[in-house]
Amino acid sequence: MTAPLAPAAAPQERGAATLPAPRPRRALRAFLRNPTALLGLALLGLVGLAALLAPLVYPDDPLGMVAQPFLWPGQDPAYPLGTDSLGRDVAAGVAHGARVSLLVGLAAAAVGLAAGVLVGAAAGYCGGRTDAALGRLIALFQTMPAFILLVVLVAIAQPSIPAITLAIGATSWPTVARLTRAEFRSLREKDFVTAARGLGYGPLRIVGAEILPNALPPIVVTASVMVASGILMESALSFMGLGDPNAVSWGSMIGSGREVLRSAWYLTAIPGLAIVVSVLALNLVGDGLNDALNPRLARER
């Protein structure tokens, strides 16, 4: 008698060695192979580390007067970045300012993303009159100068970190809404969405489990840009005197140092450099995410 034939391998097992890696893993590998993205991530990590360690390294009030005014960087080892016109430690201000700037940038981006994704998803998926009405609402907000609207909102409310965060989020959501609307309109008629409808899935499940994950890559890239924009907007408000008076930020440090720009230029240069490094890091990370998540670039790789 002949020996029985061995059972055939399952299709997944036969092709397991040749199947491409899942998309998130490919995107992660592509991101980690991008040197500029890693540079941006490293710079952002340094800024985040400074923000986390600020209460430990500088436990005292960063607005407190602790030394002689106008100590230049390196003049006194106890104050490596010098002091300002009131004798406040510049290094403590930069470290605590990182906490405020990152907090406002991240929270404002979260507010803008939440509002933009909700409005854009509703417009793109529902279509018809809902799409037309929400599309006009998005266009209306986009016709308003964002920074002027931001100044008006903050001036009406009491200047504080929550008020500034909500105001920045309220001016940044239209960009996300327009992008999300376009993505949902292109995806709602795809075969996998039609199959989900045929299986009896409800609209919320289709939107949350089927369409939104496929629309996330461009939204994630936009989120990094929104964080950078939030940092710049908060700095501009603080520079104009519309920031939280009870919190130190990079913008307020630049604003207080502009009066002595010729004699003590370091008071504006040091926090300005912190803003440049943070925004540059976020832009580099955003470019790396775009290269990793863009399907056209992925096919080229």
pLDDT tens, residue by residue, 166-218: 999 999 999 999 999 999 998 888 888 888 888 888 888 888 888 888 888 88
CA distances from 162 to 90, 104, 156 (A): 25, 8, 14
Q: Stretch 17-31: mean pLDDT, rounded?
A: 60
Question: What pLDDT is attached to residue 26?
Answer: 80
Please state the φ and ψ torsions of residue 83, each to the nearest 5 degrees. -130, 160
Lowest mean pLDDT, pick from 7-16, 77-86, 172-181, 283-292: 7-16
- Domains identified in the chain, total number: 1
Which structure tokens are listed for 90?
């510049």
CA distances from 124 to 3, 105, 132 (A): 61, 27, 10
Examine residue 175 and state whether it is found in any structural domain, yes or no.
yes
Examine residue 170 and state whether it is found in any structural domain, yes or no.
yes
Question: What pLDDT is attached to residue 23?
Answer: 64
pLDDT classification of 295: cutoffs 50, 70, 90: low
Examine residue 71 and state whether it is found in any structural domain, yes or no.
no
Examine residue 15 and state whether it is found in any structural domain, yes or no.
no
Examine residue 14 and state whether it is found in any structural domain, yes or no.
no
Lowest mean pLDDT, pick from 16-25, 31-40, 98-107, 262-271: 16-25
Question: What pLDDT is attached to residue 159?
Answer: 84
Which structure tokens are listed for 4?
């029985």
CATH, residue 238: 1.10.3720.10
pLDDT in tens, 115-174: 999 999 999 998 889 999 999 999 999 888 889 999 999 988 888 899 999 999 999 999
Q: Which residues pair with 79 in a beta bridge?
A: 76
CA distance 207 to 120: 11
Examine residue 29 and state whether it is found in any structural domain, yes or no.
no
Supply the range of the domain harboring residue 281: 84-300
User: Are the CB atoms for 218 and 183 separated by under 8 Å?
Assistant: yes
Examine residue 42 and state whether it is found in any structural domain, yes or no.
no
Long-range contact set of residues 50-55: C-beta below 8 Å, sequence gap at least 24 = 50/94, 50/95, 50/98, 51/95, 51/98, 51/99, 51/102, 53/95, 54/92, 54/95, 54/96, 54/98, 54/99
CA distance 249 to 257: 12
Mean predicted lDDT score pLDDT of the chain: 85
Examine residue 11 and state whether it is found in any structural domain, yes or no.
no
- For 68, other C-beta atoms within 10 Å of its C-beta total 11
